[in-house]
Every structure is written in structure tokens, then in C-alpha cells.
Chain A
Amino acid sequence: MLGFIIQRFIQAVGVMAVMSVIVFFGVYAIGNPIDIVIPPDATQEIRLEAIRRLGLDRPLYEQYFTFLANLLQGDLGRSFVYNMPVLELIGGRLPATLELVLISVISATVLGVSLGIYAGYRPDSWVSKTIMAVSVLGFSVPSFWVGLILILFFAVHLGWLPAGGRGDTVMIWGVAWSFPTLNGLSHIALPAVNLALFKLAMMIRLARAGTREIMLTDTIKFARAAGLSEATILRRHLLKLISIPIITVFGLELGSTLAFAVVTETIFSWPGVGKLIIDSIAVLDRPVMVAYLILVAFLFVTINFVIDLVFALIDPRVRDGASA
């Protein structure tokens, strides 16, 4: 078990190293941000001085190592535009995004898996057919459009829920959260639904396919032959067996939802990192872009690492080092 953890940890560090190289050279290979930092009418001296100050005159690999050394000390540089440490900038906005993403993915998973198992268990009932038809829609309709319709209906037409912003927050452990207050909840409702819908469709499909496959296996037939009730079979056998694909996808989706939050945050003016990155891309604020990408990569790697650990907990075959 320990060997397994160490092995996966080393892999994770390796992936992070590769990602940092790709991200750094990807972002730094193009465009010249100096034009954004200094006014266009600045003299050549001011220009050169700024270039020197930002370290843009040195060779790229040197810049990378400086960047890496700083990164390891937790210093991701300063934003050209906001002129403040990137870490602080992103750190201040990350909780909003994480809150939104976690609420969406968790509710989509719980609801999606339940509906999907039902649809897989009774594939011919009209309820199942309705579930699947709706999930096809959720799959193909672009997320931003769903967001627009949600605003149009619930905020503009019915006036029940606010169309944007974060609302009241409560400080817990020095971080602002929306979910403990009613006003905060009303603000997070629409963006969370927006973000969750696509994931919901995916979870339904996954759970349905998994259920159909598992219910046809000899494991289930054998359990039935032993006289287990359907409820027990669903609870003890199916849920356990289906958790493996679900957890894999849950991890992947957590990462991709983090990225997709960019769209939702823009539509609902949700003050998270997604909106920050869109703004930074528009003005070529390199340190923020690099930091955001590194952060996303880091979260990806961390999620995968945690998922591997969860697997080891659930699946004895993984635990015993039989390579998955």
C-alpha cells in the first residue's frame, strides 16, 4: 500500500514538472507583454528598464529556472496589470470557484448516478426513456446557452433568483463562502445548476451504461441464485461495482468543471478565477495566465492522486499492487 502511494506520488510530481515546462514555454513563446505594461509613449530607457526589471531580457531557459525557483518558494510572480502577487490574486478568488465547482459536481453526481442506475435497471420504463431523452439534450446544448436561458427565465421573467454576483458570504477559516447564507445560496443556485447540467447528463449516461453491464454479469446472477433480494443486490453489489467507473469520471469531471467554470463565471459574473483568466488573456497578463494554468494542472494532478488513493481503498486488487 505504501509502495503504491509513493509510486503514484512520484508519478504526480513528474507530471507536474512536465506541465510546468509546457505551460511556461507555451505562454512565453508568443506575444510581447511589455507593450501592455508600459505606456506607448514611454521613452526607450523606460522601456529597457521595464524589460530588465521584469527579467524579459534574459534567455528563456534562465527565465524558466528563475520562475521554477520562485514557484517552489510559493512565489508565482506579480501580475503585470493588477501589480500584486499572483498568488494573492488567485488565492482571493479560488474559494468562489471551488465552492461553485464542488456544489455542482457533487450534486450532479448524486442525482445523476441515482437517475442513471434507475434508467439502467429498468431500461424499458417510460421514466427511463424520459431521463435519457433529457440527458441527450443536456449533452448537446452548449453550457453558455443554458446559462442564458436560466437567467432569462428565473431572473428576468420570474424574478425569483439574482442573475449574477456572489451575494452575502460568511467567513469560515478566513475564507468567504456563499453557501451558509440564504442570500448566498440564491446567488449560487443558477450558476451551480448551469454548471451541473452537463455533468448530470454525463453521470446519467455513465451510471446507466454501467448498471446495464453489471446487471448482466454472473456476479449478479450468482447473487440472485443465492436468494439475495434485489434491494440488497443493488445496495451491496451494484453500488460497489459501479463506484469504480463513477469515481474515475468524478475525478476527471472535477478537473474539467474547474475549467468549464470559465464560461459559467462569465455569464453570471461570478467572481472566481475563471473570470480572472478571461480578463488576463485579453490583456496578455502572463504571470496570471501561467499561474492559472499551473494551478489547474496542479489541481488535476492532485485530484488524480487522491482518486488513485480512493481506488486503493475500494478495490483490493489495486491495493495489492496488481497494476490497474
Chain B
Amino acid sequence: MSAGPSRLALFWAEYSENKIAVLALVVVVVMILLALFAALISPQNPYDLANLSLRDSRRPPGFVGSGGYTHILGTDPQGRDLLSAIFYGLRISIQIGLAAGFVSLSIGTTLGILAAYLGGRVETLIMRLVDLQLSFPAILLALVIVALLGQGKAQLIGALVAAQYAYFARTAYGAAKAERGKDYIEAALATPLSARLVLWRHMLPNCTPPLIVVATVQIANSISLEATLSFLGLGLPVTEPSLGMLISNGFPYMMSGRYWISVYPGVALIILIVAINIVGDQVRDQFNPRLRK
């Protein structure tokens, strides 16, 4: 642990060599800040129905509404200020992405390491299940689970977790299995250290780098999957629209040229997802010794 700061500094030095990755990281941080302080910076609270007026609905960018201020990005079919709706939508998207990511990470890692550590029948059972699930498209699984559990934040997160924990399990299993075979783990197990200590001190740290990479990618995937489900009308309730729901709401109006209702929330979503993926790519390249020259 004492080597922590210097290793982090080295990591950052290498990371900052890639200007695009730095830009992507800045974008991610800015978007998280926007989401955190959505309530402070938004011209309007888009969830407060009392604020909304149907007279203001579907207005183009730059329109000055009944609230007396300019709707920079226009308004949606419910008369919400789009800029505010995007800030709040970002908050929901990021919340769901992070929550689903961390729950999948915990469940998947636990299962993966347990399978690698215990071996035998438990290993076979867990990994067969994981492989079966990995061969099944995540979107379909999420779709069915949302259909079965009904709509709502918890259900949505549950569906995303069910669709994604398997990636973490596979990654953790692979890394832990490789470590398990090494002599030092055998040696540690032979000492009177408790098994839990071995797992915690030795196997988990060695799984961390690949798991961080998978986590970044999966958080982006969660956000994307949530948006997709919302777009299909199977996501969150309409009263608190995420980015996907905003896009979905605007879709019917696109044919008549009212592009902004779908396009601006979409642009926000794409920037967020692409930025996270670029960060993830860079981190993966840095963790992958084979790509180093």
C-alpha cells in the first residue's frame, strides 16, 4: 500500500500522454458534476408538474417561454425545458449506470473468485451458468426481466445486473484462476492464515486491474442499455425521464422536423458513453502488458 501514490502518479503520467483520453476524462467529470448539481444549475425543475405548461410544449431552441427565460435547447412534448431535463436525465442515467455497475461488480466478482477458489462442482456450476448467460444477448435478458418485474428504478437496476454480472464473474474467475495456480497462493493457504485473508489479501488485488477495465466498459453499457430499455418504453416511469426516455418522447415528432426533442438528449447520452469508453480503452491499454512496447 505504501507504493500506492507513486504507482498512481506513474499511471497518471502514462495516461496523460494520450490527449484524447485526458479530454474524455474531463468530459466524464464535467458530466458527473452537471448531474450532481442539476438542481442548482437547471433553469427549471422538470419533475415538478406545476412548473410545466402545455403552452410551452415542443418549442424550438431559443424560445422564450411562459417562465420568462430562454429555452436554450427548446422544450419537450410536456413543455419541459430540455436543458433542465437533460441535466436531470444525466443524473438518472449516471445513477443507474453506477448502481448497476457496482452491484454487478460485487456479485460477479464474488461468484468468480469463489468459483476459482473452491473449484470442483461449485466451479462447474457457477461457470456453466455464467457461460450460458454470456451466450445469451444481454438486451433480451434485460427485456424479459423488466417485463417480469415491472417498471421502476430497483427493477431496472435488477435487470441490468442480471444481464451484466456474468462479465464480471468471467473476468474475476479468469484472473483468480490464474492466481490460484501460482505457488504463492498455495504457500499462503498452507500457512495458518485464514482462507478469507488469502482471498482478500492476495486473490482480490490481483483481479483488480481487469475488473476496473470491465467496470468502466460495463457502466457505459449499463447507461446504454438503460437508455435502450427506456426508449422501448420498458424503463423508468415517464414522470422522471432519463435520457433514453427523453429521446423516446421526442421520436414521434422527428418526422415533422422537431428534431431537437430527441437529438439534444441523444447527443448528451452519446458524449457520455463515448467518453467513458475512451477512458476505459486507455485504462485497458495501460493494464495490458502485451500491448506495451
Which of under 10, 10 to 19, 20 to 34, or 35 or more describes the interface residues of A?
35 or more
Chain A residues with Cβ under 8 A from B139's Cβ? 259-260, 262-263
Q: Within the complex, what minimum Cβ distance (angstroms) separates B201 from chain A?
A: 34
Residue of chain B at shortest CB distance from A252: B135
Interface string of A236-270 (1 = CB under 8 A from B): 00000000000000001001100110110011000
Is B220 located at the chain interface by the 8 A CB criterion? yes
Cα A156 to Cα B250 with chains together (Å): 14
Contact yes or no, A148 B224, CB < 8 A? no
Contact yes or no, B144 A152, CB < 8 A? no
Which A residues fall within an 8 A CB radius of B? 26-27, 29-31, 136-137, 139-145, 148-149, 151-152, 155-156, 163, 252, 255-256, 259-260, 262-263, 266-267, 277-278, 281-282, 284, 289, 293, 296, 300
Q: Within the complex, what minimum Cβ distance (angstroms) separates B266 from chain A?
A: 5
A-B contact count (CB 8 A): 99
Q: List 30 A-B contacts (CB under 8 A).
A: A26-B144, A29-B148, A30-B148, A136-B278, A140-B273, A140-B274, A140-B277, A141-B273, A142-B269, A144-B227, A144-B244, A144-B247, A145-B266, A145-B270, A152-B262, A156-B257, A163-B255, A259-B140, A262-B232, A263-B228, A266-B231, A266-B232, A277-B143, A278-B143, A278-B233, A281-B146, A282-B234, A284-B147, A289-B147, A300-B136
The one of B144, B148, B220, B232 in contact with A140, judged by C-beta atoms closer than 8 angstroms, is B220
Contact yes or no, A144 B228, CB < 8 A? yes
Q: Within the complex, what minimum Cβ distance (angstroms) separates A213 from chain B?
A: 10
Number of interface residues of B (CB under 8 A): 36
Chain A residues with Cβ under 8 A from B148's Cβ? 26-27, 29-31
Main secondary structure of the interface of B (DSSP, over half): helix
Is B125 located at the chain interface by the 8 A CB criterion? no
Q: Within the complex, what minimum Cβ distance (angstroms) separates A80 from chain B?
A: 14
Is B15 located at the chain interface by the 8 A CB criterion? no
Residue of chain B at shortest CB distance from A22: B132
Contact yes or no, B137 A255, CB < 8 A? yes
Residue of chain A at shortest CB distance from B262: A148
Contact yes or no, A142 B228, CB < 8 A? yes
Q: Within the complex, what minimum Cβ distance (angstroms) separates A117 from chain B?
A: 20
